[in-house]
C-alpha cells in the first residue's frame, strides 16, 4: 500500500538510543512511577505520529504475547484494560477468566520503525487479578514484587545479565517445517568467533546488535558461538526486571530480524544432534548503596560469604528447580557432559560442567553465574527462582556440598518428579501455580515418546512451547 498519505513516527537509531537510555536511567534512579506515567501520557498525547501502543506480557511458560491498542483509546482507558485470561496457557480457568492488564510505565521502549513498524512504541504490561494485585500466574509481576520487597526490606538491588545463545537457520518458519524436512539447514559453517564480514550470520548479528543498541541495551560484545550458525550477542547488567524484559526483547528482535532476512532464529536448547547446544548463562549479583555485596578481595575466589551462601542454597535446591531452569523436552538433550554441558550440581571457578560458576571478577563485576539455564525458559521464572532460592532457600547437610557427585536430571520425566516432590517449590510458586506449571510440562512430555533416543525427534520441536501451534495442538 502507498505510504503517500501517512505520517507515522520514524526516529533515527541515534534518537531512539537517546530516548531509551534516558528511560533506563529513570528506572535505575527509581523515579516515582507517578512522574513517569505523566511524562509518558504527555508524550503520547503530544506526538501525533504515534498510531498504536504495543503491550507485551508473558504466559506461565514464558511465551511472549503482544496486543496493539490505538493510542487515543489507550490514553483514555489505560487504567481499565481487560482481557480473557482463559485463552492464555497457564492462566485462569474459563469460569474466572477476566483479568486486567496494567501498564508498567517505566518499561517503555521506543523502537526502530524498520523492525517493528512505523508509529509504534512498546510497553510491558502487568497482569492484575480481580483484587487489584499482581496475578500469581504472571511471573513478571511476582518477580517485580520480590525485587521491590528486597529493596524496601534490605536495601538490596538485584542485578542480572544473561548470555543468550541461539541458532540461525535457513528459511522462514524452520522450526514449524522441521517435521516435514527432518533437519535444520545451517547458514554458516564457521564456528566459534569465525564469521566473514558480509556473510548471512554476520549480517544477522550486526543488524540485531544495532537494534539492541537503539533500544538502550548497552551492548558489550557479539560473536558466532561454538556450533555452526550459532550466535551470542551480549549486553550490560541491569536491574532484575529490566534484565528479564530484555531477554524477551532480545529473542523478539532476533526472530524479527531473521524473518526479514528469510531465515529463522531459534532458541531451542539442542536443535541439532552432535553439536553444542544453546544455553542462557545467568549472571547475578546484589548491590546495596552502590556496593557490590558479592565482592570480597579476601574471600574464597574473591567473593563474599553472602555470595557463597547464595550458591550453597542454589546447589541444595538444584534438582527441585531444574524444571524451572530447563523447561522443555529438548532442553534435557543439552545437559550432556560431552558438550560443555553444566549438568553437575556443584560450584567451580574453572569447571564449565558445573551448574554454578564463579567467574573472574573485581569490585564492580564480581558475580555468580548459573550455567544450567536453557534459553527457552521463562526469564521471569528463572530470575525469580535464582534470587529467591539464593536468598531465602535452605542449605542441605550434604558432605562437601559444593563438589559432591550429584547431577541434574537428563530427562524431563525425572525433572518433573523432582519438581513435584520439591517442597521448596511450594514456597517458591505457591501450590496452585506449581501444579499448573507441572501440568503444562507433563502435557509437553506426554506429546513425545518417553525414550527419545539420541536423534532429535520432530515432536520435541513440533510441540515446543515457543513453537506453539494452536491448531496442531488442538488436534493432538
Among 229-233, 314-318, 340-344, 399-403, where is mean pLDDT lowest?
A: 340-344
Query: For 363-409, what is each residue's pLDDT tens digit?
Result: 999 999 999 999 999 999 999 999 999 999 999 999 899 999 999 99
Q: Could you tell me what percent of the chain has a pLDDT over 90?
A: 77
Nearest to 406 by CA among 396, 417, 421: 396
Average pLDDT over residues 22-51: 96
Taking all residues of the chain, what is their mean pLDDT, rounded to a whole number? 92
Average pLDDT over residues 278-288: 96
Instruction: Band the pLDDT of 227: cuts 50, 70, 90.
Output: confident
Instruction: Band the pLDDT of 261: cuts 50, 70, 90.
Output: very high
Using the predicted structure, report yes or no on whether residue 469 has a pLDDT greater than 80: no
How many angstroms separate the CA atoms of 437 and 233, rounded? 30
Query: For 111-129, what is each residue's pLDDT tens digit?
Result: 999 999 999 999 999 999 8
Using the predicted structure, report yes or no on whether residue 190 has a pLDDT greater than 80: no
Q: Would you state the pLDDT for residue 93?
A: 66
Q: Would you state the pLDDT for residue 147?
A: 98
Query: For 56-101, what is each residue's pLDDT tens digit?
Result: 999 999 999 999 999 999 999 999 898 777 778 778 764 456 788 9
Instruction: Band the pLDDT of 46: cuts 50, 70, 90.
Output: very high
Query: Up-side HSE of residue 82: CA atoms within 13 Å toward CB?
Result: 10
Q: Would you state the pLDDT for residue 166?
A: 96
Q: Which three cell numbers stand for residue 64?
A: 511472549
Instruction: Band the pLDDT of 471: cuts 50, 70, 90.
Output: confident
Using the predicted structure, report yes or no on whether residue 220 has a pLDDT greater than 60: yes
Q: Which three cell numbers stand for residue 110?
A: 521506543
Those residues with Cβ within 8 angstroms of residue 226's Cβ, 6 or more apart along the chain or in another chain: 191, 192, 275, 276, 340
Query: For 200-215, what is each residue's pLDDT tens digit?
Result: 899 999 999 999 999 9
Instruction: Band the pLDDT of 216: cuts 50, 70, 90.
Output: very high
Q: Would you state the pLDDT for residue 293?
A: 98
Burial of residue 293 (number of CB atoms within 10 Å: 0-12, 13-18, 19+): buried
* Residue 80: strand, helix, or coil: coil
How many angstroms separate the CA atoms of 227 and 237, rounded? 26
Q: Which three cell numbers stand for residue 106?
A: 517505566
Average pLDDT over residues 285-314: 97
Query: For 235-260, what is each residue's pLDDT tens digit?
Result: 999 999 999 999 999 999 999 999 99
Nearest to 472 by CA among 89, 463, 268, 441: 463
How many angstroms separate the CA atoms of 332 and 407, rounded? 12
Residue whose C-alpha cell reads 544495532 in the numeric block:
210
How many angstroms separate the CA atoms of 66 and 55, rounded? 6
Backbone angles phi, psi at 335, to 5 degrees: -80, 60
How many angstroms separate the CA atoms of 57 and 110, rounded? 17
Q: Could you tell me what percent of the chain has a pLDDT over 70?
A: 95
Average pLDDT over residues 311-328: 98
Q: Name beta bridge partners: 230.
A: 167
Burial of residue 203 (number of CB atoms within 10 Å: 0-12, 13-18, 19+): middle
Average pLDDT over residues 180-186: 92
Using the predicted structure, report yes or no on whether residue 192 has a pLDDT greater than 60: no
For every residue of 25-83, DSSP letters joined together read HHHHTT--HHHHHHHHHHHHHH-TT--EEEEEEE-TT--EEEEEEEHHHHHHHTT--EE
Structural domains of the chain in order of their starting residue, each with its CATH number: 13-135 (3.10.20.70), 156-474 (3.30.590.10)
Using the predicted structure, report yes or no on whether residue 278 has a pLDDT greater than 60: yes
Q: Would you state the pLDDT for residue 94?
A: 47
Amino acid at each position: 500500500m502507498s505510504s503517500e498519505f501517512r505520517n507515522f513516527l520514524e526516529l533515527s537509531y541515534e534518537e531512539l538510543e537517546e530516548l531509551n537510555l534516558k528511560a533506563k536511567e529513570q528506572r535505575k534512579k527509581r523515579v516515582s512511577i507517578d512522574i513517569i506515567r505523566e511524562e509518558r501520557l504527555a508524550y503520547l498525547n503530544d506526538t501525533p505520529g504515534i498510531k498504536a501502543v504495543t503491550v507485551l506480557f508473558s504466559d506461565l511458560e514464558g511465551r511472549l504475547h503482544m496486543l496493539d491498542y490505538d493510542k487515543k483509546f489507550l490514553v483514555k482507558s489505560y487504567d481499565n484494560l481487560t482481557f480473557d485470561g482463559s485463552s492464555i496457557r497457564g492462566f485462569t480457568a474459563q469460569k474466572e477468566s477476566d483479568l486486567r492488564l496494567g501498564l508498567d510505565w517505566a518499561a517503555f521502549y521506543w523502537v526502530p520503525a524498520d523492525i517493528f513498524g512505523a508509529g509504534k512504541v512498546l510497553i510491558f504490561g502487568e497482569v492484575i487479578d480481580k483484587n487489584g494485585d499482581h496475578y500469581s500466574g504472571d511471573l513478571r509481576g511476582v518477580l517485580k514484587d520480590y525485587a521491590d520487597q528486597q529493596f524496601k526490606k534490605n536495601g538490596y538491588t538485584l542485578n542480572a545479565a544473561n548470555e543468550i545463545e541461539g541458532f540461525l537457520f535457513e528459511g522462514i518458519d524452520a522450526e514449524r517445517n522441521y517435521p516435514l524436512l527432518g533437519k535444520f539447514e545451517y547458514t554458516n559453517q564457521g564456528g566459534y568467533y569465525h564469521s566473514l564480514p558480509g556473510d548471512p550470520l554476520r549480517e544477522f548479528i550486526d543488524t540485531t546488535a544495532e537494534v539492541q543498541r537503539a533500544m538502550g541495551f548497552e551492548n558489550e560484545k557479539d560473536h558466532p558461538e561454538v556450533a555452526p550458525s550459532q550466535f551470542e550477542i551480549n549486553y550490560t547488567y541491569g536491574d532484575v526486571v529490566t534484565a528479564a524484559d530484555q531477554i524477551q526483547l532480545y529473542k523478539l528482535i532476533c526472530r524479527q530480524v531473521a524473518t526479514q532476512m528469510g531465515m529463522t532464529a531459534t532458541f531451542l536448547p539442542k536443535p541439532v544432534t552432535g553439536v553444542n547446544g544453546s544455553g542462557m548463562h545467568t549472571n547475578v549479583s546484589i548491590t546495596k548503596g552502590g556496593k557490590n555485596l558479592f565482592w570480597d578481595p579476601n574471600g574464597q575466589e574473591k567473593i563474599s560469604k553472602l555470595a557463597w551462601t547464595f550458591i550453597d542454597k542454589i546447589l541444595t535446591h538444584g534438582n527441585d528447580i531444574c524444571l524451572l531452569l530447563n523447561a522443555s523436552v529438548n532442553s534435557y538433550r543439552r545437559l550432556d557432559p560431552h558438550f560443555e554441558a553444566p549438568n553437575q550440581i556443584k560450584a567451580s571457578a574453572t569447571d564449565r560442567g558445573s551448574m554454578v560458576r564463579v567467574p573472574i571478577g573485581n569490585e564492580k563485576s564480581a558475580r555468580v553465574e548459573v550455567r544450567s539455564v536453557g534459553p527457552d525458559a521463562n526469564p521471569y521464572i528463572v530470575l525469580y527462582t535464582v534470587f529467591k532460592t539464593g536468598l531465602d532457600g535452605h542449605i542441605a547437610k550434604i558432605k562437601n556440598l559444593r563438589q559432591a557427585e550429584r547431577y541434574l536430571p537428563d530427562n524431563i520425566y525425572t525433572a518433573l518428579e523432582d519438581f513435584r516432590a520439591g517442597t521448596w517449590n511450594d514456597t517458591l510458586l505457591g501450590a496452585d501455580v506449581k501444579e499448573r506449571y507441572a501440568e503444562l510440562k507433563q502435557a509437553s512430555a506426554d506429546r513425545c515418546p518417553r525414550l527419545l533416543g539420541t536423534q532429535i525427534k520432530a515432536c520435541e520441536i513440533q510441540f515446543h512451547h515457543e513453537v506453539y501451534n494452536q491448531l496442531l495442538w488442538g488436534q493432538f
